[in-house]
Structure 1
Amino acid sequence: MGSFRRTRGKAKEEGWRARSAFKLLQIDEEFDIFQGVKRVVDLCAAPGSWSQVLSRKLYVPAKLNPKSRDGDLPLIVAIDLQPMAPIDGVIQVQGDITNARTAEVVIKHFDGCKADLVVCDGAPDVTGLHDMDEFVQSQLILAALTIVTHVLRVGGKFIAKIFRGKDTSLLYCQLKLFFPRVTFAKPKSSRNSSIEAFAVCEDYSPPEGFNPKDLYHLLEKVGSPSGTGNLDCSSAWLEGPNKVYIPFLACGDLSGYDSDRSYPLPKQANGSYRSLDPVQPPIAPPYKTALEMKKASTGLPLDQ
């Protein structure tokens, strides 16, 4: 059995909806991102593996603590355009992360307070054209900043999936406008052949006088000849002999799950291994309409 499939099997055995749960766990092992977190937002959350991690690491331990009161329980808000099956302690919001109104809904759930942590494992459907995939993914991250600049407290953290490529330095400098510490990390559970990595942004500190409405106007200045004042993100820092060097870290304990490794199959009572069903099939897959149209036009059952 291939290593990629095997790691997915490990996720099923541990009850995770997707193997991406291991990536967030390994990021936490390296950066301790959950320390002191009481309010967290999961962007592009479906099918919910990162929300599961947040629930198990934050909400469930607090719920099981006999000293905890209802008002002390961590608050987790998951946002996606698609609905997903319920997760203990997770509030679901169907919304668009590019819309500031979605941020207002989140803050309302937090009783007017702001989040300690925002995570985003969202990604577009990849084409295999790395430059295009990198560009579209960077635009998704900047869209996520629309929410971050509205809901994240000063000093908070932001974790987002990135695709590494020729414009990675530009994205790094854009994130540095808001976070003094930005590290691009590669969890062990992320395949070596993948251009995927994760931006770990710490200590949220927006520029003085920053208005979230001016987000894209500010981002457009990064890499332009005029630069961005004293933020050291002018074009001279993005190319040539003065090119900025990005902190990059491979994270995850050596004993942690590795997507490029095969694991021995667990022994079953009858001596054979039975393939596991998905922990949680999608409840509203984007291809559902296509299947229904196919059934209507051909008379075939949905599974054919």
Structure 2
Amino acid sequence: MGKSSKDKRDLYYRKAKEEGYRARSAFKLLQLNDQFHFLDDPNLKRVVDLCAAPGSWSQVLSRKLFEGQKDVEGRKIVAVDLQKMSPIDHVTTIQADITHPKTLNRILELFGNEKADFVCSDGAPDVTGLHDLDEYIQQQLIMSALQLTCCVLKRNGTFIAKIFRGRDIDMLYSQLGYLFDKIVCAKPRSSRGTSMEAFIVCLSYNPPQDWEPKLDINQSTEQFFEKIPSLNGISELSIDDQSHTKAQLPSWSLEERSIAEFMSCGGLDSFDSDATYHIDADDSRQRESLDPVQSPTNPPYKEALELKRRGKLTRAI
């Protein structure tokens, strides 16, 4: 969230800076919670934030679970990402791959071998602008997060993940419906209407009684879920000749697809992320240029600065 960002005219971008959040995406989780109240549960103790960098969702989790709370004993937040994250109060960060069994073991170790109450993922690939391709890659990321979630989430727990709505999103709804009692597609007001992103809210984790999910670095997503007959082939997605995402699920028919309930979160009194708001001329704070909340942990120019400091960066003649 630097000063040169193209989003600097976005009201949520500015509000995130004013309230100390590292990214405007913090308001997406806050508005989801306003609708579903999953962070207001007094019994919520163990939380996992996947694909967490730069950490705005972890900041929300920390404030909800610890700030102003009287009974915080046993509460633990674990944030996982391949990128390095700057420290956040009450959050244990792990720089690791969410598909690796060692990551799962590390999380369970931090939780004292207890299962998590809540798992969330705001991760997304760098979009290409090719919606079918972006949807495909995002769905693979969701399935990777789901693998870890199945191993770490307790029964009746909640899972939330960013999705890209597209032509075959109903297949994802149906797949998740085999593991959760209720699936809702939610669109926060802080998420731009021009964006195809939304959030899948999976309530009441209810896997088959005789299924014991286990992560194996040498197995694919399909192999992970193949012990559940109804989920056989969960990850078999490909791009057809017309560049449309097509499901290759031989054990499923088109009738098995489902439509999830769609819900807008944030209320009409919330700010519209696609709207432009006038600055109050009498409010000097609105006209003040705000510094970034958190400096980049690994900026692309870091290596160049180090080479220049050692005199090894010279201009070609």
TM above 0.5, one fold? Answer: yes
Residue of structure 2 in register with 1:168 after alignment: 169
Distance 1:131 1:220, change over 3 A: farther
Distance 1:185 1:271, change over 3 A: closer
Residue of structure 1 in register with 2:75 after alignment: 74
Residue of structure 1 in register with 2:263 after alignment: 249
Residue of structure 1 in register with 2:49 after alignment: 42
* 1:293 shift after superposition: 9.5
Partners of 1:270 and 1:201 in 2: CA distance = 43
Residue 56 (str. 1) matches residue 24 (str. 2): no
Residue of structure 2 in register with 1:299 after alignment: 314
Is the partner of 2:190 in helix, strand or coil? Answer: coil
Equivalent of 2:254, from 218, 225, 235?
A: 235
* 1:257 shift after superposition: 3.1
Distance 1:267 1:39, change over 3 A: farther
Distance 1:264 1:154, change over 3 A: same
* 1:98 shift after superposition: 1.0
Aligned residue identity for 1:200: V
Partners of 1:148 and 1:271 in 2: CA distance = 42
Deviations 1:147-166 (A, max 9, x none): 10111000000000000001
Alpha-carbon RMSD across the aligned residues, in angstroms, is 2.5
Distance 1:4 1:41, change over 3 A: farther
Deviations 1:71-103 (A, max 9, x none): x15210000111111111001111101112211
Is the partner of 1:12 in helix, strand or coil? Answer: helix
Aligned residue identity for 1:40: V
Is the partner of 1:207 in helix, strand or coil? Answer: coil
Kept in 1: contact 2:304–2:313 (CA 8 A): no
Distance 1:270 1:198, change over 3 A: closer
Is the partner of 1:98 in helix, strand or coil? Answer: coil
Residue 215 (str. 1) matches residue 215 (str. 2): no
Kept in 2: contact 1:134–1:165 (CA 8 A): yes
Residue of structure 2 in register with 1:231 after alignment: none
Aligned residue identity for 1:215: F
TM-score for the superposition, normalised by structure 1: 0.84
Residue 16 (str. 1) matches residue 40 (str. 2): no
Aligned residue identity for 2:298: A
Aligned residue identity for 1:42: D
Partners of 1:114 and 1:194 in 2: CA distance = 34
Residue of structure 2 in register with 1:181 after alignment: 182
Is the partner of 2:194 in helix, strand or coil? Answer: coil
Partners of 2:173 and 2:88 in 1: CA distance = 33
Q: Give the share of equivalent positions with the same residue, in percent.
A: 47
Moved more, 19-28 or 32-41: 32-41
Is the partner of 1:212 in helix, strand or coil? Answer: coil
Distance 1:221 1:263, change over 3 A: same
Kept in 2: contact 1:22–1:257 (CA 8 A): no
* 1:254 shift after superposition: 2.1
Partners of 1:203 and 1:21 in 2: CA distance = 24
Unaligned runs of 5+ in 1: 228-233, 239-243
Partners of 1:147 and 1:16 in 2: CA distance = 27
Unaligned runs of 5+ in 2: 1-5, 215-222, 235-246
Deviations 1:14-65 (A, max 9, x none): 1110000000000000011112311100001110000000011112233xx2
Partners of 1:167 and 1:297 in 2: CA distance = 52
Kept in 2: contact 1:99–1:146 (CA 8 A): no
Is the partner of 1:10 in helix, strand or coil? Answer: helix
Distance 1:2 1:208, change over 3 A: closer
Equivalent of 1:25, from 30, 44, 47?
A: 30
* 1:112 shift after superposition: 1.1
* 1:284 shift after superposition: 1.9
Q: How does 1:89-128 map to 2 (within 5 A)?
A: 89-128=90-129
* 1:276 shift after superposition: 1.2
Kept in 2: contact 1:225–1:235 (CA 8 A): no
Residue of structure 1 in register with 2:277 after alignment: 263
Aligned residue identity for 2:88: I
Distance 1:268 1:282, change over 3 A: farther
Distance 1:277 1:289, change over 3 A: closer
Partners of 1:95 and 1:271 in 2: CA distance = 39
Partners of 2:176 and 2:163 in 1: CA distance = 12
Partners of 1:43 and 1:176 in 2: CA distance = 21
TM-score for the superposition, normalised by structure 2: 0.81
